[in-house]
Structure 1
């Protein structure tokens, strides 16, 4: 049996492994390390599909493995992070409110299952992809020392973010594709402009740039959808 057949699945399992380590990091309140491991898992998540297509070995097993791995890295981990933020690191609390953080996990699970049977999302997305949503949630505890810190640490704000997070992943909102197949500025000016702005924000704002980039992506997609409807 060709070794190439197993490479994409092995990369998918590396994604799952990173998600497992991230859970341990979150349990120890090491949110920065958890962020890095989740980011590494998402990196593997991108390349498993890349190599599956390159080696022409894509199959149903890989699809299932990918969703199961994403369920941990982009489902359980962000839900656990929100749970920890709502408890302020105090796991012994008897309050039930922190468990609302796992609404993110439920929303991610529903999206992943729906994505597997939705044929409309081959080149672009409908609803926010789970990896993007995860990076957004993972960045929140890392920006508490910034000017948005007092708002991020407010339980009501966190609950609203949790509900919006689960909603936006499953909302019927088309998001423009980030795939640039050629160097036509006229055709891909929206994508190129977004990527340039994102790089500037990352270089200047570091972790704070992560939620801002994702919010910008969603808002630009909404505006782009409105303009596209007006042109019809």
Structure 2
């Protein structure tokens, strides 16, 4: 019976992602973010449960990636599509739509979904990524994209809103997102083999900084945390050499 528990959690991740897609399509970004957060929660605990119960399987690995494609790949792609659609009027009077009135420029947002799927497929066949990641994990990238509408909703800053709703900023974030997902950069994983400070100094410092940043900056802290995560990983790689 216990072997079904991790897969049940993975399916809850997928179910949360499906609900998030519905909300995202209907422009309810806050609710979409809430269900993505819930999906990421299930995504964390399905692997944890599989390890603790010693029921890891190839089926679980494949199912986990399929769920992540939806929750951490499709949803952020739709969110970016919607944000680019909001600012599409800034492109002037040029007709930038294809058949059925589908706008071309916002479709760039879906490249995040494609890059996420590619990253997850690579992860499944890579035997090295046990204690670290190559490229930004899809849940972290999803949080980066979803933080944008949350910042606009809750930070209440005209300056920040103007930056986020700048078409070139959104395109830049999209390009960066696709690149960092599949970049050949080793990023540390928040997996503790033991609880000693010496062996986990980077992890403990990162977690502490995350807590402080979230308390001070709230949702605006998320993009900073992602940049911090990448920077600390690169620094950790350099010092380990």
**Does residue 126 of structure 1 match 2:134?**
yes
**Does residue 169 of structure 1 match 2:181?**
yes
Match of 2:94 in 1: none
Match of 2:51 in 1: 53
* Contact 1:29 1:89 (8 Å CA) reproduced: no
**Deviation, structure 1 residue 218:** 0.6
- Which SS does the other structure have where 1:37 is aligned? helix
Closer, same or farther in 2 for the Cα pair 1:186/1:51, shift >3 Å?
closer
Deviations 1:122-169 (A, max 9, x none): 111111000000011011111134343211111111111111101101
**Does residue 111 of structure 1 match 2:132?**
no
- Which SS does the other structure have where 2:2 is aligned? helix
**Does residue 6 of structure 1 match 2:4?**
yes
**Deviation, structure 1 residue 94:** 4.7
> Normalising to structure 2: TM-score of the pair?
0.89
- Structure-2 separation of matches of 1:187 and 1:100: 41
**Deviation, structure 1 residue 93:** 6.1
- Structure-2 separation of matches of 1:85 and 1:66: 28
Q: How does 1:79-158 map onto structure 2 within 5 Å?
A: 79-88=77-86, 94-144=102-152, 145-146=156-157, 147-158=159-170
- Structure-1 separation of matches of 2:101 and 2:223: 28
- Structure-2 separation of matches of 1:89 and 1:156: 10
- Which SS does the other structure have where 2:128 is aligned? coil
When the two structures are aligned, how many residues end up with a matched partner? 227
- Structure-1 separation of matches of 2:102 and 2:69: 27
Which of 64, 73, 76 is the matching residue for 1:75?
A: 73
Query: Which 5+ residue runs of structure 2 have no aligned equivalent?
Result: 89-96
Query: Which 5+ residue runs of structure 1 have no aligned equivalent?
Result: none
**Does residue 188 of structure 1 match 2:200?**
yes
Which of 230, 234, 238 is the matching residue for 1:222?
A: 234
- Which SS does the other structure have where 1:125 is aligned? strand
* Contact 2:7 2:63 (8 Å CA) reproduced: yes
- Structure-2 separation of matches of 1:31 and 1:219: 29
- Structure-1 separation of matches of 2:130 and 2:102: 44
User: What is the root-mean-square deviation in Å for CA atoms of aligned residues?
Assistant: 1.8
- Which SS does the other structure have where 2:196 is aligned? coil
